[in-house]
Amino acid sequence: MSERLSAGSLGPISLAHLCTDLSQGALPALLPFLIIQRGLGLPAAAALITAGTIGSSIIQPVFGVWSDRLSRPALMPLGVALAAIGIGTVGLVHSYALMLAAVGVMGIGVAAFHPEAARVANRVSGNRRGRGMSYFAVGGNLGYAIGPLITIPIVLGLGLDGTPLITVPGLIAAAILFRRLPVITAQLEPPANAAPATGEGQRSQWAPFWRLVTAVVLRTVPFFTLQALVPIYFVRHFKASTALGGLALTLMLLGGAAGTLVGGRCADRFGRKSVMVAAMAPLTLLLLGLRYAGLAEFVVLLTLVGFVLEGPFSTSVLIGQEFLPARVGLASGITYGLDMGLGGLGASGMGALAGSAGIRFAISLLPAFTALSLLLAISLPAGGATTARLAGGAAGRRWRRFTPPRAREDLG
């Protein structure tokens, strides 16, 4: 495995991540059209989202275990293709059972892609894993934001029969990644005289790993809650349009993409744990400000919330991988999938609370989640948080000068 970040392999993986999460982002955009043109009720439409969440999030750890035991890079192009085919079929079928099946296929594709892709992205990032994982993660950020932007014009112009066009980016990405597989697989094989691969002989740190998982779930609840409530809040509180609320959400997601890139670079330079802790405190203050902000201030704060909220996301995945060095796929499946599913369920509870006590009250509770996440982040050991770029340079020389050789080996 190369010590340097392999952009030639990471690029296609990140593109595939974009197209996989584009399929996920397209589903909510399809719901209004399915309600109008297929006569779905709100409970049935919500059940489609639940089916997608269970398929894409809850079962990811299962694929993570498979990834660790069998190491199947072919799961990456297969997952992208299944996700694309699933979402492209939703608009073609008229039976609700077939809609559920199509959403289930999409979810299985998403679940198959993420753990293996995150494991491989970690390996091909060399000693710049913070930066590499941020490049991988930002593909997902952009895909989720782009999904509705592609889906709505297609369905407005062609109706639900046009949904197969949503499949095209995913199939192209799958083909590109499939052609790159021989090179990627070769990079995963250590040289004959290489030291044991990362994770061999290293103990899993389960207790801090589960604290990390809880911290990520708590941080994810505000993310999904804001996605659900902001468009309604703009209409009811600011007397603005849902389109303006949608634009504010897009700015939040784009802010999150920028935060992911910055967070990855900071993780390599200052340490993984430092990035997590440094993000949570300002995030709590920004969320506090949302309740009292006017329209313009709310949009600005929401963009900053996205930036700070997503800043430590890829870093959280990387920390989880380092806590379970011999189970990188499982760690990825939990931090990328299960955490998101549980955070979404928590957001559903916040949505129910908003229905009974008001959206503004629900938003005012969000800082409590990030404050608890901050406390858990502080409690994490710093052992997995490499504080310098191991690939070299001034930071690497300083790190080697002040770090004992045994610690260097442990931090890898």
How does pLDDT run across 51-69, given as a tens digit for each residue? 787 777 778 888 778 777 7
What is the C-alpha to C-alpha distance for residues 403 and 239, in angstroms, rounded to an integer? 57
Radius of gyration of the chain (CA): 21
Non-local CB neighbours of 7 within 8 Å, separated by 6+ positions: none
Dump pLDDT digits (tens) for 71-82: 678 889 999 999
Alpha-carbon distance values, 142 to 44, 120, 292 (Å): 28, 20, 29
Dump pLDDT digits (tens) for 156-170: 899 999 999 999 999
Please report how the helices 42-53 and 339-357 are oriented relative to each other, as an axis angle in degrees rounded to 10: 150
Closest CA to 26 of 119, 94, 95, 110: 110
Between 3 and 282, residue with greater pLDDT = 282
Between 8 and 350, residue with greater pLDDT = 350
Between 129 and 295, residue with greater pLDDT = 295
Superfamily of domain covering 200-381: MFS general substrate transporter like domains (1.20.1250.20)
Residue 371: what pLDDT?
Answer: 94
Please give the span between the terminal C-alpha atoms of the chain, in angstroms, as a whole number: 13
- Of the ranges 187-196, 289-298, 305-314, the best mean pLDDT one: 289-298
Residue 232 pLDDT exceeds 50: yes
Give 365's pLDDT tier (boundaries 50, 70, 90): very high
Give 310's pLDDT tier (boundaries 50, 70, 90): confident
Non-local CB neighbours of 297 within 8 Å, separated by 6+ positions: 289
Residue 128: what pLDDT?
Answer: 77
Non-local CB neighbours of 202 within 8 Å, separated by 6+ positions: 325, 326, 410
Residue 307 pLDDT exceeds 80: yes
Alpha-carbon distance values, 278 to 147, 286, 311, 411 (Å): 30, 13, 10, 21
**Cβ atoms within 10 Å of 42's Cβ, excluding its own:** 9
What is the C-alpha to C-alpha distance for residues 24 and 52, in angstroms, rounded to an integer? 8
Q: Residues 129, 268: contact at Cβ < 8 Å?
A: yes
Token digits of residue 365: 């509770």
Phi first, then psi, for residue 16 (nearest 5°) are -65, -35
**Residue 109 CB-half CA count within 13 A:** 30
| Model confidence pTM above 0.85 | no
Residue 7: what pLDDT?
Answer: 67
What is the C-alpha to C-alpha distance for residues 289 and 292, in angstroms, rounded to an integer? 6
- Of the ranges 125-129, 335-339, 371-375, the best mean pLDDT one: 371-375
Residue 409 pLDDT exceeds 70: no
Dump pLDDT digits (tens) for 251-277: 888 898 898 888 888 888 888 888 889
Give the CATH number of domain 1-189: 1.20.1250.20
Dump pLDDT digits (tens) for 3-47: 566 667 888 999 999 999 999 888 888 888 888 888 888 678 777
Tell me, what DSSP letter sits at residue 372? Answer: H
Give 406's pLDDT tier (boundaries 50, 70, 90): very low
Residue 387: what pLDDT?
Answer: 37
What's the mean pLDDT in 389-404? 39
- In a 10 Å sphere around its CB, with 0-12 CB exposed, 13-18 middle and 19+ buried, how is residue 96 labelled? middle
CATH 1.20.1250.20 in the chain: give the residue spans.
1-189, 200-381
Longest Cα–Cα distance of the chain, Å, equals 67
Q: Residues 89, 163: contact at Cβ < 8 Å?
A: yes
DSSP string, 302-367: HHHHHHHHHTTHHHHHHHHHHHSTT-HHHHHIIIIIIHHHHHHHHHHHHHHHHHHH-HHHHHHHHH
What is the C-alpha to C-alpha distance for residues 305 and 297, in angstroms, rounded to an integer? 12
Residue 210: what pLDDT?
Answer: 93
Say which amino acid occupies 397: R
Long-range CB contacts (< 8 A, 24+ apart) of 157-161? 159/33, 159/37, 159/91, 160/30, 160/33, 160/34, 160/37, 160/38, 160/91, 160/92, 161/91, 161/92
Q: Residues 322, 330: contact at Cβ < 8 Å?
A: no
Residue 411 pLDDT exceeds 60: no
Residue percentage of the chain with pLDDT more than 70: 87
How high does pLDDT run on average in the chain? Answer: 82
Residue 402: what pLDDT?
Answer: 38
